[in-house]
């Protein structure tokens, strides 16, 4: 607004009188009412050449405000420290106005501070290390007209408050404070008076986001093998790693693999063959080391257990699957070892061949050697008969061993005695077969199965007793003729089947006894071809021998 003179003056709109009352950063207007952004600091009787009063007295209001808040003014005898005197009034109603020191009633309006932070407000460590504690020094400026007391300076990371301080900042001055930051991948937001508890001339210049370059730490993890895994000498294995950094899943880097202290590869994943020399045996360390410019390097270690390869038995065999007592059998054992065989024909191994007989008795032999094949020539005993097992046992220089086996049969030939209770039989009459079964060493074939066949027809089954004796009865065939009678005995010890045979004669005799004919002085015989009807209904052509003697 304007005034006519410095003392005892009327007032009017700006420009009406020669003297204008001017204030920085304040806007004003005349109106019957003030909006929410302004407040009535005075009221006028009329627009120009007017008396003035406090803001609520006349209808015409002088509305004024800062850009941020309505201006707060009071008429009192003196102004506070944070207030400015705009003009003095003779009275608070229907009054003339003058410069501030003329009347005792002062129009006192509150001054505002203006807290400011910007890019020049900060000092911090160059590339602090991720995870460490670093101090951010902060300078808060006050560009306003009032002192700022108890101003809160807060520091945020990803929306999380991690530190705050309280400062007092004098007008047209600055104050220094700091935040302690645990270095991370996030930007840092600094706010002064974050809750707007202090009214300021500008509420948009009191926060700033810092993009602080940091030093990241590489993180290397060994994915395979797992810690405390076991492998064999000479085995080829994969070594797999994954490298990340504090803030990146794929940082630039180089990876180095070490076995104990020896470099063995330079990629994230490598294929490595475990050496054969003896010193690698046992619990050993594998380390993956990752490095990159501008990063802090990292390493990860595991332990693996390296085992000796036991010697291999490639084959255990015999030249025959069964051998008769007293005869020879060749038993061979072909072996190999990764560490103790310079070639397949040059092996530094110890081999023993042991035989477990049918009665579970052991016989041990030192094997002969040709290249990597070890062998013995074994003479089969007469006792016991049955299944034998040949074991090949091989030791290497680390006293590791392997065992494998094969089986063979030791058997004795057998003899079967066959007896019949008659030299011939009528058809469909009782036949008794009996006899003994024994082995080559005269031992009885005990409790053996006995099968008897007349031709290709099984006619009887029985078993031998403890003395090898057997007997069996059956009805003779129902046809006249000569039949081969087979007796099969299965040795219970070896499963071998022994066979003997005799002739079973089926015929019909009528007349005088044959032995009388043999004693006669004169005998005359003739053979007459005839047809015979057998009891089984078959018809057979035969020769009937008719003899007469005296």
Shared domain check, 30 and 76: yes
Q: Is pLDDT at 212 greater than 90 in this prediction?
A: yes
Query: Which of 263, 259, 266 lies closest to 290 in space, CA to CA?
Result: 266
Question: What is the structure's pLDDT at 347?
Answer: 85
Asked if residue 106 and residue 6 are part of one domain, the reply reads yes
User: Are both 242 and 143 inside the same structural domain?
Assistant: no
Residue 543 confidence (pLDDT) above 90: no
Residue 464 lies inside a defined structural domain of this protein = yes
| 229 and 296 assigned to the same domain | yes
Rounded average pLDDT over 9-36: 95
Identify the residue with better confidence: 545 or 322.
Answer: 322
Both tokens of residue 203? 């509420």
pTM for the complete prediction? 0.63
On the question of pLDDT at 345 being above 80, the answer is no
Look at 176-185, 260-269, 347-356, 515-524 and tell me which has the smallest mean pLDDT. 515-524
Measured distance CA(336)–CA(332) in Å, rounded: 14
- Same domain membership, residue 9 and residue 99: yes
Q: Give per-residue pLDDT as tens, 312-328.
A: 999 999 999 999 999 99
pLDDT value at 109 more than 90:
yes
Dist CA 490 CA 482 (whole Å): 26
pLDDT in tens, 347-389: 889 999 999 999 999 999 989 998 899 999 999 999 999 999 9
pLDDT in tens, 53-97: 999 999 999 999 999 999 999 999 999 999 999 999 999 999 999
* Same domain as 496, residue 421: yes
Contact 224, 272 (CB under 8 A): no
Q: Are residues 222 and 203 in the same domain?
A: no
Is 267 part of any domain?
yes
Give the pLDDT of residue 515.
Answer: 77
147 is in which domain, residue-wise?
Answer: 115-210
Residues 349 and 379 in one domain: yes
Omega of the bond leading into 276 within 30 degrees of 0 (cis)? no
Check whether residue 302 and residue 317 sit in a common domain: no
Same domain, 56 and 131: no
349 and 254 together in one domain: no
Looking at residue 520, its pLDDT comes to 79
What pLDDT is stored for residue 549 in this prediction? 86
Summarised one tens digit per residue, pLDDT across range 469-493 is 999 999 999 988 899 999 999 999 9
d(CA 132, CA 309): 49
Tokens 């094949």 -> residue: 373
Token pair recorded at residue 406: 């094969």
Residue 533 pLDDT more than 90? no
Could you write out the three-class secondary structure of 220-263?
Answer: EEEEECCCCEEEECCCEEEEEEEEEECCCCCCCCEEEEEECCEE
537 vs 129: CA distance, rounded Å:
115
Task: Give pLDDT tens digits for 385-415.
Answer: 999 999 999 999 888 999 999 999 999 999 9
pLDDT attached to residue 346 = 82
Residue 373 lies in a domain: yes
Instruction: Give CA separation, 208 vs 188, 369, 495, in Å.
Output: 8, 88, 100
Q: What is the CATH number of the domain that holds 133?
A: 2.60.40.10
Same domain? 540 vs 490? no
Q: What is the pLDDT of residue 141?
A: 98
The per-residue pLDDT for 516 is 80
**pLDDT > 90? residue 344:** no
Compute the C-alpha angle 55/57/58, nearest 5°: 95
In a domain, 32, yes or no: yes
pLDDT at 282: 95
Q: Residue 21: which pLDDT band, with cuts at 50, 70 and 90?
A: very high
Q: What is the mean pLDDT of the chain?
A: 94
Question: What's the confidence (pLDDT) of residue 521?
Answer: 79
How much is the pLDDT for 438?
96
* Class of residue 250 by CB neighbours under 10 A (exposed 0-12, middle 13-18, buried 19+): exposed
pLDDT score of 18 = 93
Cis ω before 225 (30° cut-off from 0): yes
pLDDT band at 456 (very low <50, low <70, confident <90, very high): very high
Report how far residue 163's alpha carbon sits from residue 541's, in angstroms, rounded to the nearest whole number. 129
Does 409 fall in a domain? no
| Predicted pLDDT at 52 | 98
Residue 491, domain CATH: 2.60.40.1930
| pLDDT computed for residue 53 by the predictor | 97
Q: Which of 210, 239, 266 is the last residue of a domain?
A: 210
Which domain-ending residue is among 210, 235, 250?
210
- Tell me what pLDDT residue 535 has: 84
Domain count, the chain: 6
| pLDDT the model gives residue 366 | 87
Instruction: Tell which of 307, 325, 344 closes a domain.
Output: 307
Q: Is residue 318 situated within a structural domain?
A: yes
In a domain, 394, yes or no: yes
Rounded Cα distance between 39 and 55, Å, is 8
3-state helix, strand, coil in the chain (%, to 5): 0, 55, 40
pLDDT tens for residues 262-284? 999 999 999 999 999 889 999 99
pLDDT at 207: 96
């Amino acid at each position: 607004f304007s005034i006519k003179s410095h003392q005892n003056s009327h007032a009017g709109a700006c420009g009406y009188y020669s003297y204008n009352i001017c204030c920085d950063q304040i806007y004003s207007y005349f109106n019957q009412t003030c909006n929410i952004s302004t407040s009535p600091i005075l009221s006028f009787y009329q627009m120009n050449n007017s008396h003035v009063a406090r803001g609520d007295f006349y209808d015409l209001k002088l509305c004024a405000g800062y850009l941020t808040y309505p201006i707060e003014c009071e008429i009192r005898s003196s102004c506070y420290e944070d207030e400015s005197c705009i003009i003095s009034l003779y009275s608070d109603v229907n009054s003339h106005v003058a410069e501030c020191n003329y009347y005792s009633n002062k129009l006192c309006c509150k001054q505002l501070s203006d807290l400011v932070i910007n890019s020049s407000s900060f000092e911090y460590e160059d590339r602090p290390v991720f995870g460490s504690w670093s101090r951010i020094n902060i300078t808060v400026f006050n560009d306003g007209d009032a002192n700022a007391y108890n101003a809160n300076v807060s520091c945020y990371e990803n929306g999380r408050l991690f530190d705050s301080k309280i400062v007092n900042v004098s007008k047209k001055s600055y104050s220094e404070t700091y935040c302690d930051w645990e270095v991370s991948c996030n930007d840092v937001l600094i706010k002064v008076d974050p809750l707007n508890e202090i009214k300021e001339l500008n509420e948009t210049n009191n926060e700033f986001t810092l993009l602080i370059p940091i030093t990241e730490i590489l993180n290397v993890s060994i994915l395979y093998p797992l810690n405390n895994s076991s492998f064999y000498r000479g085995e080829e294995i994969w070594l797999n790693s994954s490298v990340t950094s504090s803030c990146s899943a794929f940082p630039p880097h180089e990876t180095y693999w070490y076995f104990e202290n020896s470099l063995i590869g330079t990629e994230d994943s490598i294929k490595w063959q475990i050496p054969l020399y003896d010193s690698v045996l046992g619990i050993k360390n594998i380390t993956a080391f990752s490095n990159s410019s501008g990063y802090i390097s990292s390493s990860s270690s595991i332990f693996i257990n390296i085992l000796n390869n036991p010697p291999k038995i490639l084959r255990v065999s015999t030249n025959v699957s069964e051998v008769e007592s007293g005869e020879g059998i060749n038993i061979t054992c072909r072996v190999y070892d990764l560490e103790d065989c310079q070639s397949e024909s040059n092996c530094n191994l110890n081999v023993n061949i042991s035989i477990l007989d049918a009665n579970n008795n052991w016989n041990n032999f030192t094997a002969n050697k040709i290249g990597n094949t070890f062998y013995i020539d074994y003479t089969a005993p007469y006792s016991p008969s049955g299944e034998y097992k040949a074991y090949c046992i091989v030791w290497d220089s680390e006293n590791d061993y392997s065992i494998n086996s094969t089986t063979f049969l030791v058997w004795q030939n057998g003899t079967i005695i066959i007896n019949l209770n008659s030299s011939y039989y009528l058809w469909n009459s009782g036949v008794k077969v009996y006899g003994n079964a024994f082995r080559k060493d005269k031992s009885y074939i005990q409790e053996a199965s006995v099968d008897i066949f007349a031709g290709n027809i099984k006619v009887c089954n029985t078993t031998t007793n403890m003395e090898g004796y057997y007997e069996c009865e059956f009805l003779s065939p129902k046809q006249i003729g000569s039949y081969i009678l087979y007796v099969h005995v299965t040795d219970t010890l070896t499963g071998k089947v022994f066979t003997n045979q005799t002739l079973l004669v089926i015929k019909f005799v009528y007349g005088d006894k044959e032995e009388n004919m043999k004693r006669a002085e004169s005998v005359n015989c003739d053979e007459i071809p005839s047809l015979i009807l057998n009891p089984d209904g078959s018809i057979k052509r035969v020769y009937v021998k008719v003899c007469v003697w005296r």
